Amino acid sequence: MSVTPKIISTLLATALAAVSATALAAPAAKPTAAEAERFLADTEAKLNKLNNEQARAAWVGSNFITDDTEGIAAYFAERFLSASGEAAIGARRFNGVKLSPEAARKIMLLQQTLVFADPKEREQYAALQAALNGAYGKAKYCPTKDNCMALGEMEKVLASSRDEARLKEMWTGWHAQAPSYKDKYVEYVALSNKGARQMGFADTGVMWRSQYDMPPEAFAAEMERLWQQVKPLYDALHTYTRYKLRATYGPDVVPLTGPIPSHLFGNMWSQTWTNLYPILKPAGETKSFDLTKVLEERKTDAKQMTKYAEGFYTSLGMQKLPASFWERSLLTKPRDRDVVCHASAWPINEKDDVRIKMCITPTAEDFTVIHHELGHVYYFLGYTKQPFLFRNGANDGFHEAIGDTVALSITPAYLKQIGLMDQEPDVSADIPQLLERALSKVTILPFAYTVDKWRWDVYSGKTKPADYDKSWWQLREQYMGMKRPVESQGITGFDAGAKYHVAADVPYSRYFLADMLQFQFHRALCREAGYTGPLNRCSIYGNAKAGAKFQKMLEMGASKPWPEALKAISGEDKIDGNALLEYFAPLKTWLDQQNAAFAAAEKK
């Protein structure tokens, strides 16, 4: 669970409750503000305790996947959901009562949740959620009876092999796993919608879109506006990549127009294309720096990788990670058991029990991911003094953006400073660096949009289970310019379910928003640090002034509507693609030139 959905960002979103007839009945007299304060104090104390219990059980459930731990995780999740659902119904009484801004916000937050009238359905929902999480964690592709490959191994092949047949085998091998839990997912969606409707939402997708301090329709329009802003940059990158892939795999595999088969992008979901860098790098770029090679050669272990990341945060004036973090986190893939390896950060309690679970390997990719995960952890630690309901990101995109903002400061100058690079490349290396960065930051945008657009239609009932794949590939073609590498699995297909966040039901728009926000944060913090040069060469490493500004926003948690948090750090109050576009502007010019030259050559 990317920051366990039940525990942070969607903590309220996934809550359910048994609703008694009395709770649903309209109250007789209008309650007072003082009653609301008492209600909130009781509710927060109760939910806090149950949340800590469920967090521990979920941690064990994801770290030791067995039928028993799955049952235990579901049991505690159900208890929390019951209480938060009851609280949601209780909170309704205070709608329209004049309250302090904090109390009014808490009453609003409490109602962004699923509620079940039937306890059996609530239990079933919690059981399905735990089972889906476990099913994804256990899934393996077995080319032969006694040789099975875990996802991580297959990802490695996708990252490094250029053997088209082998790539196709890995891609189809993994995507053949999800149909085994499709029925569970279908049942889960139906139950989730029931819960959303009982809380007054048209469906779960509407509830998700209601969590951004604006009406759900306005949020959908914002997503579309933001996508249109950055689409020309994505299109330029896609066109450039097509030419290079054609040169690598030949015109029979990569067509001159139309969607490109999605197994060629170096990533199981083609969401980041960083592994294509050796194919895509500018002609004549010979001395590219390979961080993976350095980390491997030095046998950098998981703890050292994490220490590098911690070192960045402490350089900003933030605290050291608590001793319990080092004792309780899972940093490497255990050899003897199944765990959910998808990286995640966990606030187990409000004291200082914060952990991560990640199967760290010494690669450049994991070097970035570990900074991402610690971003969640420093947010947890930052807002720990807030009351329970405000112990969350300003919105879920903020939570995802913290660590990524820090990772944008992993520049050559920074790597040199910490001894991972001998010599800083000169200014002529800007385009290669920007290109490499675009291969994750630009490519994720249409992917992130697609994942949730698909789910919004699934939750609304517009897309029926028999059409899951049809809709998935329509969207992937439309936004990402990609197609399935082999014929579809038909009505039983569940390619979306091959993505962790779909199986685990974690909303994904957060990564789209985070992608924009991190460039806004980066630009603002670089300015705070007094930096005036190009944004891609700015690192805020060691800058206490930028760190203090960052920390201030972290401490706010979810206590204010997110535009206020954004204002506190950047002076802006809208999420916007302009900072990202500014960052990549030199690359856009370069891509356009390259593409024009390729097109001219094709014509000859």
Q: Cβ closer to Zn ion: 2 or 329?
A: 2
**Whole-angstrom distance, CA of residue 569 vs CA of residue 552:** 8
Site string for Zn ion, 344-383 (x = CB under 5 A): ----------------------------------------
Tell me the closest approach of the beta carbon of residue 142 to ligand X8Z, in angstroms. 24
Written in H, E and C, the secondary structure of 530-568 is CCCCCHHHCCCCCCHHHHHHHHHHHHHCCCCCHHHHHHH
Pairing of strands 354-357, 344-347: antiparallel
Concerning whether 501 is annotated as a catalytic residue, the answer is yes
SS3 260: strand
Residue 468 binds: one of Zn ion, ligand X8Z, none (C-beta under 5 to 8 A by kind): none
In sequence order, the 6+-apart residues with CB closer than 8 A to the CB of 297 are none
Residue type, 577: G
Q: How far apart are CA 384 and CA 471, in angstroms?
A: 41
Q: How far is CA 503 from CA 132, 139, 183, 378, 382, in A?
A: 6, 11, 12, 27, 30
What 3-state class would DSSP assign to 335?
coil
Q: Which of 155, 501, 522, 528 is catalytic?
A: 501
* Separation between Cα atoms, residue 398 and residue 9, nearest integer Å: 10
Least distance between ligand X8Z and beta carbon 344 (Å): 6
- Closer to Zn ion by Cβ: residue 87 or 402: 402
The option from Zn ion, ligand X8Z, none interacting with 511 (CB < 5 to 8 A, set by class) reads ligand X8Z
Which does residue 93 bind out of Zn ion, ligand X8Z, none, counting CB within 5 to 8 angstroms by kind?
none
Q: Closest distance between ligand X8Z and the C-beta of residue 82, in Å?
A: 27
Subset of residues 389 to 408 that bind Zn ion, contact rule: CB under 5 A: 400
At closest approach, how far in Å is the CB of 511 from ligand X8Z? Answer: 4
Q: Which is nearer to ligand X8Z, 270 or 543 (CB)?
A: 270
Is 522 catalytic? The answer is no
Rounded-to-integer distance, Cα 420 and Cα 322, Å? 26
Binding site for ligand X8Z (CB under 6 A): 2-3, 271, 343-344, 369, 372, 511
Measured at CB, which residue is nearest to ligand X8Z? 2
Nearest to 15 by CA among 151, 148, 145, 129: 129
Closer residue to ligand X8Z, CB minimum distance, 196 or 369:
369
What residues are designated binding site for chloride? 212, 510
Rank residues 2 and 241 by Cβ distance to Zn ion and give the closer one: 2
Q: Which stretch binds Zn ion (CB under 5 A): 2-10, 254-262, 404-412, 557-565?
A: 2-10
Q: Which DSSP symbol is given to 266?
A: S
List, as residue ranges, the binding site for Zn(2+): 372, 376, 400
Phi/psi of residue 163, each to 5°? -90, 105
Report in angstroms how near the CB of residue 554 gets to ligand X8Z at its nearest. Answer: 17
- The active-site residue, picked from 70, 155, 350, 373, is 373
82 in Cβ contact with 114 (< 8 Å): no
Residue in 458, 459, 344 with CA at minimum distance from that of residue 61:
344
Q: Which residues are annotated as a binding site?
A: 212, 372, 376, 400, 510
Nearer to ligand X8Z by Cβ, of 9 and 594: the residue is 9
CB of 325 to Zn ion, least distance (A): 16
Positions marked catalytic: 373, 501
Binding site for Zn ion (CB under 5 A): 2, 400
